[in-house]
Amino acid sequence: MGSSVKVIGVSKNYGKKTILNEINLDIQSGQIYGLIGPSGAGKTTLVKMLVGMETADTGTVHVLGEKMPNLKLLQEIGYMAQSDALYAELSGEENLEFFASLFKLGKKERKDRIAYTAQLVNLTEELKKRVSAYSGGMKRRLSLAIALIQNPRILILDEPTVGIDPELRLSIWNELLRLKNEEGKTVIVTTHVMDEAGRCDFLAMVREGRILTTGSPTELMEQYGVGSLEDVFLNAGGKRQ
Ligand SMILES: Nc1ncnc2c1ncn2[C@@H]1O[C@H](COP(=O)(O)OP(=O)(O)OP(=O)(O)O)[C@@H](O)[C@H]1O
């Protein structure tokens, strides 16, 4: 299917600190690609580069064949940040309407996308409430709905299920799998949750700004001679402080 995302020789420093060190990634279209690694490894900095919100000091990032950053690609990339960027004084529905208005969507399509994304994250009944009255999990769910609003080809989700209960987490993962299988979407996700990592087609282990290893979950377990991704994570030195 070809590459959706190509990262070549990307490095980034903040002051004297090296945050990303010679990163290379080739993310095939129609895959769920997981970035796993301990806190502070550089995952968020890396995904921000894929979205075009950060620039590399050296190296290049291409998304759908275009060099990033590139405003043309906003329509094609849905991004869910680690902290929610929502308008607290507006209702959930007004937030969805606002974000939908930023994209090229016809009137009916806009309405349909709002209904579909709200239902996907189980917020249909709560749409009229102000976001300031939402719980943390509800805000995460609304952020996920916003990431999907313009029907992007690539979804980039930074720890999407933090604060979401197991039942809804499962239904979100089932939907991500459906989006991949039926609509050929590419999903890039950062996670600390190993059962989520196990649902990815391909994983990159990130630590101290480097990619330690890449492979399917099964390949990584074989590589480290262990029976679980938890053990891969620990053996690769990813134990949380
Ligand atoms: N704007 C910034 N200025 C200076 N340092 C930064 C900046 N943004 C991130 N960092 C540093 O870069 C490093 C990597 O951070 P990043 O958020 O990319 O890690 P992460 O792997 O996403 O971690 P987590 O899982 O906790 O979100 C950290 O040491 C962080 O303190």
pLDDT per residue over 203-217, tens digit each? 999 999 999 999 999
Question: If you take atom 3 of ligand 1, which residue's CA is the nearest one?
Answer: 14
Determine the pLDDT at residue 186.
97
Least confidently predicted of 14-23, 95-104, 109-118, 191-200: 191-200
Q: What is the pLDDT of residue 15?
A: 92
Distance of CA 34 to the CA centre of its chain: 8
Residues 6+ apart with CB under 8 A from 200: 32, 33, 34, 189, 217
pLDDT digit string (tens) for 26-65?
999 999 999 998 888 999 999 999 999 999 999 999 999 9
Residues with Cβ within 8 Å of 204's Cβ and at least 6 positions away in sequence, in order, are 25, 33, 34, 35, 36, 211, 213, 214
Mean pLDDT computed over 204-233: 92
Extract the tokens encoding 56.
Answer: 């590399």
pLDDT at 237: 64
Question: Residues 127, 174, 214, CA angle at the centre, nearest 5°?
Answer: 120
Is it the case that residue 2 has pLDDT exceeding 80?
yes
pLDDT at 240 over 50: no
Residue 1 has what pLDDT? 64
Q: Which of 13, 16, 44, when mutated, tests ligand 1's pocket best, judged by the most ligand atoms within 8 Å of its CB?
A: 44
pLDDT at position 142, please?
92
Q: Whose CA is nearest to atom 2 of ligand 1?
A: 14
**210 CA to middle of ligand 1, Å?**
13
Look at residue 241 and tell me whether its pLDDT is greater than 60.
Answer: no
* 23, pLDDT greater than 90: yes
Answer whether residue 234 shows pLDDT above 80: yes
Q: How many domains does the chain have?
A: 1
Query: Pocket around ligand 1: residues whose beta carbon is below 6 Å from it?
Result: 14, 19, 37, 39-45, 82
190-201 pLDDT, tens digit per residue, is 988 888 899 999
Residue labelled with tokens 């990431």? 147
The pLDDT tens digits for 77-93 are 999 998 888 999 999 99
pLDDT of the residue at 202 = 96
CATH number at residue 38: 3.40.50.300
Residues paired with 202 in a beta bridge: 33
Ligand 1 pocket: which of 10, 13, 14, 55 to mutate (most atoms within 8 A of CB)? 14
State whether ipTM is beyond 0.85: yes
Mean pLDDT of the chain: 91
pLDDT at 95 over 70: yes
pTM for this entry: 0.91
pLDDT category at 155 given cuts 50, 70, 90 is very high
Please tell me the distance from the alpha carbon of residue 222 to that of residue 91, in angstroms, as a whole number.
Answer: 48
Helix (H, G, I), strand (E, B) or coil at 123: coil
Tokens of 160: 């999407």
Instruction: Give residue 68's domain range.
Output: 3-237
Question: Higher pLDDT residue, 37 or 12?
Answer: 12
Percent of the chain past pLDDT 90, that is, above it, reads 68
pLDDT in the model for residue 45: 95
